[in-house]
Each structure stands twice: as C-alpha cells, then as structure tokens.
Amino acid sequence: MAGVQVANVSRSFGAHKALDNVSIDFADGGFYALLGPSGSGKTTLLRQIAGFDFPDAGRIAIGGESVERVPVEKRRIGMVFQNYALFPNMSVADNVAFGLSVRGEAKATIATEVQRALDLVQLGKLGGRKPHQLSGGQRQRVALARAIVTKPRVLLLDEPLGALDKALRVDMQIELKRIQREIGITTIFVTHDQEEALTMSDRIGILRDGRLVQEGPPEEIYDRPQSEFAATFLGDANIFRGNATGTGIRLPDGTTIAASTGASVPAGVKASCAVRPERIRISTSAAKPDPADANTLTGQVSKRIFAGNNSTYFVERDGQTLKVIVQNTGAERLAEGQSVVLSWSPDSTVLIA
Amino acid sequence: MADQRAIGSRRGLRPALPLLLPAYLWLTVAIFLPLSAMVFFSFMTDLPLAGKEWAFTLGNYAAFFSQSLYSTLLFASLRLGLEVTLWCIVIGYPAAYVLAKVLKGRSREAIFLLVILPFWSNGLVRIFSWAMVLREGGILDTALNAVLPFKINIDLMYSYPAVIIGLVHSYVPYMVLTCYLTLQAIDDSLIEAGRSLGASRRQVLWRVIIPLSMPGLIAGAALIFVPVVGSFMEPRILGGRTGTFYGTVIEDQFVAVFNWPLGAALSFILLAVVLIILALAAPVLRRAA
C-alpha cells in the first residue's frame, strides 16, 4: 500500500491540453474520486498514474518513489477497466491468476491466492466459468478480484460501474467500498456520476478542461464550493451574480444577499453566491418561517415537480429561475402561478470569488 | 445465436430458399458436376474420346501406391506447404499486428493497399517478375553487387528457395488479411489489462494476443497450406528441374501426357490426404482457437 503524489503534471495531445498543471496528493489507504464531465482530463490523469501514458511535465510518485517514466507493468498497480477487459479465452480463475502467473509464482500459491480473491468478491464457486457466462455484475467482481490479487500498491478504477444498471450499481458501490476497507488499499476512482463520487469517496477531485477545480472531502466541496462550476457540477445550486459588499453581494436590482461562508471578496468586486435548493424555505406569507433567515426574495412558482419524498419548485424572480426542494412533510403544496417568499440563512450561502 | 435458430425453426427453410438457390445451383453446375466427372474418369483406363476403348479400373489409384515416386513427391509437396505456411506466418503476422494495432487512419489504408496489391496483379506476371529478380545477372544479383564491395553470385533461379519465395509472395496476403481481422477485433483494453497486471509486452503477446488471434492464424494457414500443396505454376516456372512436385505431376497428366484418369486419381488422393491432415489437426486446432 502506498500513497500517490501527483505534482504539476501536464499532458498535451497536439494542441489540446488534456492535463494542465495538476497536483493532487492521494493519501495512503484513501478512497478518491476524480470527478468531471467528459473531456475534463480525469481518465488522462488516471492513465498517467497507471503508466499507460507518460506526462509531458511534472512528477508522479507511488509510495514516495518517482514513477513518471516507469512503464505500467513495473508500477505494481491494479486497474479495473470500464468494459472490465476480462480475457475472453481464459476461465475466471485463469483471469484472476494471470497477474500472479506472469510473475512466476508457484502453482500452489496461485491457487490459494486466486481462491481467496474470488471469495473476497463472493464468486468463490465460479472459478471454472468463462467470462461470457457471467452477468455484468459478476464480470465486474472478477475484474476487481484480478486487480487486487497481486497486492498492488494502488487500485485504479476507470468508471467501473458505468456499464451496470442502476440497482446493480448501488449494490456494487457498497460492495466496492466494503472490499476497499477490508484490504485498505489506496483507491482512485474515475467517474462522471456525482452521486457515486459523493457516496463512495473520502475525497473528491473535480476536474474541468484539464485543470483541478477543487479537491477535498465530499461534504466540504458540497457545502463550500469554490467556483460556480464546482457548485453546479457536484449537486444542484442557485447562483446569484452581483458585486461584493463585504458581507455578501448586491444584485443588479439592489437586493442584497448575505453570505457567511466561502471566499472573502473585497467590496465592489464582481462575485457570486451559491445556495443549495434544499436550504431555501418557501412560504406564501411575508412572515419568515425562521427569524435567522436574513435572506428573502419574492417570486412566483412557475412549475412543480413531485418526486414522492420531495417536490422541486421552480420559482421565477427577476428573469431568473430558482430551484427550491421541499421535503414532503404533508404540508400544503403550492400551486403553479402562486406568489411566494423564499428565505434562507447566510450560513447556507456560499460566496464565490 | 439462440434467437436466430428459433426464427429459423419457426419459419422453416422455405423463405430462405430463393436466397440460397442461386449459389447452390452455381456450385452444382460449376463444381459438383465437373468434379463428379473427374471422379468417374479416375476409375477409367482411358478417356472416352475419339471412340477409344475404355473400361473401369482401380489401376490409377494403384499406380500411386506401386510407384514410390508419387508418395515421395507428395511428401515433398506437403513439406513445401508447411514451409510456405510457416514463412507466411513469420512474415504476415507481424505485418497484420502493425496494421491492426499500431497504424491508424490514412497510413493504415496505404499499407493495407500494398498488402493486397498482389491479389490485383496477374499470377503469371508476378511469377515471371520474380524470375527476373532471382536469376543470375538479374535484378537482385546486380543490385547486391553494386552495393557490396566484394563479388557475390546470386543465382536463386531454378532452386527450392525460389519456389518458396514465389509461393510466399503469392500467399502471404491471405495470412495478413485473416490475422488482421482477428487482431483488430481484440480490444486494446485487454492488452492494457495484461500490462497493468505486470506482464511484459512479450508476455502479453504470448498469453493474450496470440491465443486470441489463433482463429485468424488457423484460417490463414488452411487457406495457404491446401493450395500450396497442389501448386504447380510457381514450382514449374521458378523451380525448373528442382521444381518437380506433386502438383506439377498432376498438371503433366492433364496437359502433357494427356493421361486424365491418372491425373484425376492423383488429385483425389491429394484431396483425401489433405482432408485427413485437417481432420487429425482439428481437435488440436479447436482447443487452440
């Protein structure tokens, strides 16, 4: 086991900068998600760490040892591919045994290690099957067993759950997390699914256009996004744009919004505020439901989407559509067209430079 | 697969008949009938032409077993087939690999065209152009002597290597094409997976790529081995006196000696031997594929 340090790594393909001066420290034993839209460089970064491709500049270290020019087969990593990449000509057991067998391990050792790995992913009885006889979830588990049986220093996962259907994906998320905890391996996980990143990882790195936008624990990124992109890519957010006042921002129409978290921006400079839809309270009377809610706005409900345990209201206000999520507590539901008052606390408002 | 079979059994063969008929009609007229005539000839004492007397006989087949020349030549031809097939693998497989896995886009198309060019040129022209290259004072001889400081004498013409060179040239595209198709179907992530598990490039080649491309190697080998064993044009033109093989003897029976019955019998013996070899190899090949 080992941590991974990525320092000032850049990689271009022709004129396209796939990675632009990216630095991340992956601590030993942690579970990291690299999150970003397609083309953000997250897979390129994973391939640099794996050693399929070498960076143009920068340093990559695994367990403190520089590896940026070491080919993949010498890096002692385990990788799970998006399409699983199981060898179709080999049985499940032979697939898992491959990494041990190319190292020239003794047959008896290989057999016990393979069985242990298959037991860990709960496929102990399917060693004799061929990959095409397995379901998608089972193939996923074989790919995982194959990647960890060699006791790699770091486990790399390239959108491993992307090909599974939703219910199976949730099962595999829990399973993957359990296995990762059990063997305590540093895990780096590429995904474009923000929910997956939030539920599974200890830390998230958000990438956009080859740059690291923000990195930290899921709660921190969700509660204190440092950019409009981070705020809207990880979860949903209402964004207000205006000029900083020192305690918040002033919107173009003169309304002020108080913010007590986020960046400190000198007064007068252009800035924005992000508010999560579930932090906003919606009511029909002018009286605030909570006196601590310093921020109030009025608007009109334009649309309501009922989703069982909650409802999403779209509220029109000065040409902007705001999103408000209300838990289904049995209270009266608001009709489309109704005038409403929105209120929320400055603590729920993040100032973004 | 299962779905297709289900559809087939429900609707029967009848709707497919109009699609199958032209091909089978053609095969019957163009191959089955002439071949049947040949089987018939192979049991005759002489051709029933110009009112000649003829009778049924097994003598043509007996000739193969009574004269050791024929079996010696058959072995020589089988060895030739094996050698040409091996050279086609050695030359064709790496080329197919580069085409399928290394080159992309335009350069792949261009190189591909060069590979299939032999198909588009006339076989005789191809062989005679080799004759010009290989003979003493020919293109190869002159070129090497122009470059090398010492005098060497390249006279490959009318030799066993010349026959091999000509045949490999004619048949290597089959190996490139069949191997290209299977190699190109191998997902690159399988190669990456192998390397991520600690396998060197050589180990990935032997344990992942070659096993997965085995169907292409086998198909290419079968496409090359069978016609090379019966080949006569390259051995005759490039081999000269050393170019006497089973195929040239059969050709002689048809065009020179005019002993069609013996030629036909020798052909069918060759067919039987090739089928036996393929049948014996089938279990091994199936496991490999």
Who among B190, B192, B198 is closest to A150 (CB)? B198
Q: List pLDDT tens digits, range A4-56.
A: 999 999 999 989 999 999 999 999 999 999 999 998 999 999 999 999 999 99
Could you write out the three-class secondary structure of A83-135? CCCCCCCCCHHHHHHHHHHHCCCCHHHHHHHHHHHHHHCCCCCCCCCCHHHCC
Rg from Cα positions in chain A = 24
Return residues 156-215 of B near A (CB < 8 Å): 187, 189-190, 192-200, 203, 207-208, 211-212
Rounded to the nearest 10 degrees, the angle between the axes of helix B33-42 and helix B260-288 is 120
Residue A164 vs residue A149, higher pLDDT = A149
| Residue A73 to residue B193, Cβ atoms within 8 A | no
Does the pLDDT of residue A237 top 50, yes or no?
A: yes
**Residues whose CB falls within 8 Å of the CB of residue B126, separated by 6 or more in sequence, listed in order:** B118, B166, B169, B170
pLDDT at residue A285 greater than cutoff 60: yes
Mean pLDDT of A201-206: 94
Residue of A46, A52, A73, A74 to mutate, interface with B, max B Cβ within 10 Å: A73
Helix (H) or strand (E) holding B85: helix B68-97
pLDDT of residue A264: 83
Could you confirm whether domain A239-352 is CATH 2.40.50.100?
A: yes
Between A52, A82, A99, which is nearest B198 by CB? Answer: A99
**C-alpha distance from B88 to closest chain A C-alpha (Å):** 25
Res B2: pLDDT: 42
At residue A185, the pLDDT reads: 93
Residue A164: φ, ψ to 5°: -95, 155
Q: Which CATH architecture has domain A4-223?
A: 3-Layer(aba) Sandwich (3.40)
pLDDT at site B47: 78
The mean pLDDT of chain A is: 91
The closest alpha carbon to B85, from B215, B220, B231, B286, belongs to B220
Residue from A232, A293, A182, A306 nearest A35 by CA: A232
Q: What is the pLDDT of residue B1?
A: 39
* Contacts with B198 from chain A: Cβ below 8 Å: 73-74, 76, 99, 102-103, 150
Q: What pLDDT was estimated at residue A1?
A: 59
- A100 to chain B, closest Cα gap in Å: 8
Res A159 pLDDT > 60: yes
Nearest C-alpha in A relative to B193: A85
Chain A residue with the nearest C-alpha to that of B188: A85
Is there a contact between B159 and B105 (Cβ–Cβ < 8 Å)? no
The ranges of chain B with pLDDT < 70 are: 1-11, 50, 288-289
Nearest chain A residue to B197 by CA distance is A99
pLDDT value of position A318: 84
Whats the size of chain B, residue-wise? 289
What is the model's pLDDT at position B96?
94
What distance in Å separates residue B83's CA from the closest CA in chain A?
A: 28
Sequence-distant (≥ 6) Cβ neighbours of residue A157 within 8 angstroms: A79, A80, A176, A187, A188, A189, A190
The pLDDT of residue A77 is above 60: yes
CA A86 to chain B, closest CA, distance in angstroms equals 7
Is A212's pLDDT higher than 90?
yes
Which residues belong to CATH 3.40.50.300 in chain A?
Answer: 4-223
How high is the pLDDT of residue B82?
Answer: 96
A219-232 pLDDT tens trace: 999 999 999 999 99
Residues B115, B94 contacting (CB under 8 angstroms): no
A-chain residues near B212 (CB < 8 A): 87-89
- Comparing alpha-carbon positions, the chain B residue that sits nearest to A99 is B197
Q: Which residue has the tokens 């097994």?
A: B58
Instruction: Provide the percentage of residues in chain B whose pLDDT is more than 70.
Output: 95
pLDDT at A193: 87
3-state secondary structure string, chain A? CCCEEEEEEEEEECCEEEEEEEEEEECCCCEEEEECCCCCCHHHHHHHHHCCCCCCEEEEEECCEECCCCCHHHCCEEEECCCCCCCCCCCHHHHHHHHHHHCCCCHHHHHHHHHHHHHHCCCCCCCCCCHHHCCHHHHHHHHHHHHHCCCCCEEEEECCCCCCCHHHHHHHHHHHHHHHHHHCCEEEEEECCHHHHHHHCCEEEEEECCEEEEEECHHHHHHCCCCHHHHHHCCCCEEEEEEECCCEEECCCCCEEECCEECCCCCCCEEEEEECHHHCEEECCCCCCCCCCCEEEEEEEEEEEECCCEEEEEEEECCEEEEEEEECCCCCCCCCCCEEEEEECHHHEEEEC
B196–A79 C-beta distance less than 8 A: yes
Q: Is B288 on the interface with A (CB under 8 A)?
A: no
Chain B residues with beta carbon closer than 8 angstroms to that of A72: 192, 195-196
Q: Which of A46, A75, A87 to mutate to test the interface with B (most CBs of B within 10 A)?
A: A87
Q: What residue ranges define each of the domains in chain B, with the CATH number in brackets?
A: 1-42 (no CATH), 60-288 (1.10.3720.10)
Residue limits of CATH 2.40.50.100 in chain A: 239-352
What pLDDT sits at residue B159?
Answer: 87
State mean pLDDT over A150-166.
Answer: 89
Residues from chain A that touch B183, judged by Cβ atoms under 8 A, are none
